[in-house]
Structure 1
């Protein structure tokens, strides 16, 4: 497999394949980075912030596209990103302006799987979560509540957990550990 150079946007959040996130870009270096991506100079990778490490983020990141943007009242830019492909960050270099460029290698995405049996509760709970959080639901034109991988990854993006724990689950070869984790979390909440 060939490695690829990508612009790297680092935030204190997790974005996974097929997920969408809206981020505020105010830093001049990040604004330049977004401009370079939009001009086609680099593809874009989104990484979850990691403190006290050689890299600014975890080595598991997601290649994404900018699907929408608009200027906010304070002059900063709001950018909507859609994740496509998991990537591993092999190395990253900070440019003079403070932005990051990373050398990445594509990793396999989780394959689609139907939600079956007791795991249907995870899908129903995500649907309820989106009803209570319509701003997140509005980011999507289609939701795939029948797909265990899609539902698992959306839970990892929104659960209030440390990024390292989310990445540990996202690094698994499939969605099964995440499905088990979310199911146990929901059951413990119902039993409490």
Structure 2
């Protein structure tokens, strides 16, 4: 699949929702392309000037004119991809051919994992502005819970890329238990 790319520090996994401000002409073109194709665009992280290998395909779910005149868009991540090849067009917009990576399979929460889910629920209660992005949170799906935790934890780019490359949520679940269970013991 060929996608226009938006390199950002934003880490969004399937099911993740965020808002973006669009003001550069190349990204206005990206929005137009995404709306015309109905395939969305790619969010990808970068280190220095190098694009990371993995990213998320997002679709635009809402948009509005912001008070400062810029375009505000709300995006939802649909799936993950790996970049096969990329190039920069004359206006600076990065395009890429990508291959879709299967999403993590929804998984019912086990008793042992309930603290991870309830901890995320408490975080959503503490930060209602973030929770507002998720009118129908799925605290019963462990894959969804893991993805939301990974999006908000202060992890390095390499760690985030590694988790994104995984075929299921098990490594993330193990990692989250080690981090969050330790925090709960304090």
Task: State TM-score, norm by structure 2.
Answer: 0.93
Aligned counterparts of 1:152 and 1:96: Cα–Cα separation in 2: 39
Deviation at 1:131, TM superposition (A): 0.9
What residue number does 2:86 align with? 92
What residue number does 1:15 align with? 12
- Taking the TM superposition and a 5 Å limit, the aligned residue runs for 1:71-150 are 71-150=65-144
What residue number does 1:64 align with? 58
Q: How many residues align?
A: 186
Give the 3 Å change call, closer, same or farther, for CA 52–36 of structure 1 in structure 2.
closer
What residue number does 2:28 align with? 31
Aligned counterparts of 2:128 and 2:89: Cα–Cα separation in 1: 37
Q: Is the 8 A contact 1:5 1:42 kept in 2?
A: no
Q: Indicate the RMSD between aligned Cα atoms, in angstroms.
A: 1.5
Deviation at 1:117, TM superposition (A): 2.2
Deviation at 1:175, TM superposition (A): 0.6
1:46-80 Cα deviation digits (max 9, x unpaired)? 11233242xxx321111111001112222222211
Aligned counterparts of 1:50 and 1:164: Cα–Cα separation in 2: 9
Aligned counterparts of 1:41 and 1:118: Cα–Cα separation in 2: 40
What residue number does 2:168 align with? 174
Aligned counterparts of 2:12 and 2:163: Cα–Cα separation in 1: 13
Aligned counterparts of 1:178 and 1:111: Cα–Cα separation in 2: 13
Alignment match of 2:155 (pick from 143, 161, 183): 161
Q: Find runs of 4+ consecutive structure 1 residues off by over 6 angstroms.
A: none
Deviation at 1:91, TM superposition (A): 1.0
Q: Is the 8 A contact 2:5 2:95 kept in 1?
A: yes
The runs of 5 or more residues in structure 1 that have no matched partner are: none
Task: State TM-score, norm by structure 1.
Answer: 0.90
SS in 2 for 1:89: strand
